[in-house]
Amino acid sequence: MTEEIVIAGFGGQGVLLAGKLLCVAAMRRGLQVSHIPSYGAEMRGGTANCSVVISTEDIPSPVIECPSVVIALNGPSLVKFLPRIRLGGMLIWNRSLIAIAPSRSDLFSFPLDATDISLANGTERAANMVAIGALLRLKPNLVSMKSIEAALDEVISSRNRKYNSLNLRILSVGYEMAEKIVANK
């Protein structure tokens, strides 16, 4: 099993943190992981992204050409990564901030009102948690909710750990949203 996941959004939407959470959770399950942030000449307000590889085998390169999963938290990220998703891959996209539905039909597309769900829970900054929650449901063999919970304690700095329960709650809303989408398909 190898998943090559790109998580992308605005700077500040927590894409690097989301990637790190997945990595730590998968690492604790005994899987091989790599995480690399994009560090091109990114502009303020532009896209930030990270590439996460989770595998049962050694990981040759942390750089992902054709991701198996893309989480796009804003419009520019969708534009950038949609063409690169592999055939039959998965796209999780933030419908709250992306007005036009993605044009490809050769992949599994899951719209999430990620920012709206986050706002409804009192913060605009947890769209990343909604998406990770959904991913947990859509890729059930990747990492468990329990391992993500442990990873939160490990990854989040002590200063921000007070938000862990809120993050977890929003994560499970994302999980349930994905559950509904799967049930309706």
Partner 1 sequence: MLGKVLMKGNEALAEAALIAGCRHYFAYPITPQNEIPVYMARRMAELGGTFIQAESELAAISMVMGASAGGVRTMTSSSSPGMALKQEGISYLAGAELPCVLVNVMRGGPGLGGIAGSQGDYFQATRGGGNGDYRTIVLAPGNAQELADFTVDAFDLADEYRIPVLILVDGYLGQMSEPLTLPKPNGKKFEKSWAVRGSEGKSKNIIASLRLVPDSALEVHNLHLQDKYEKITEEVRHVDEYRCEDAEWLIVAYGAAARVARKAVDSLRTGGTRVGLFRPLSLWPFPDRELNEFAKEVEKVLTVEMSLGQLIEDVKLSVNGEAEVDFYGRAGGAVPTLDDIIGRIYSYEHQDHTHVQAS
Q: Which of 7, 8, 24, 48 binds partner 1 (CB under 8 A)?
A: 24
Distance between CA atoms of residues 110 and 114, nearest Å: 11
Minimum distance between the CB of residue 89 and partner 1, rounded to whole angstroms? 18
Number of residues that bind partner 1 (CB under 8 A): 25
The residue with tokens 């986050």 is 118
Q: Which is nearer to partner 1, 36 or 79 (CB)?
A: 36
Q: Which of 7, 33, 114, 178 binds partner 1 (CB under 8 A)?
A: 33
* Crossing angle of the two packed helices 145-155 and 127-138, in degrees rounded to 10: 150
> Looking at 53-61, 69-77, 85-93, 175-183, which segment touches partner 1 (CB under 8 A)?
53-61
Q: Is 31 in the site for partner 1 (CB under 8 A)?
A: yes
Q: Is 147 in the site for partner 1 (CB under 8 A)?
A: no
In b/e form, how buried is each residue of 33-68, taking b as 16+ CB within 10 angstroms?
A: bbbbebeeeeeeeebbbbbbbbbeeeeeeeebeebb
Q: Which of 15, 23, 97, 98 binds partner 1 (CB under 8 A)?
A: 23
Per-residue tokens: 35: 């995480």
Give the number of other Cβ atoms within 10 Å of residue 167's Cβ: 26
Q: Which residues contact partner 1 (rule: CB under 8 A)?
A: 20, 23-24, 27-37, 39-41, 57-63, 65
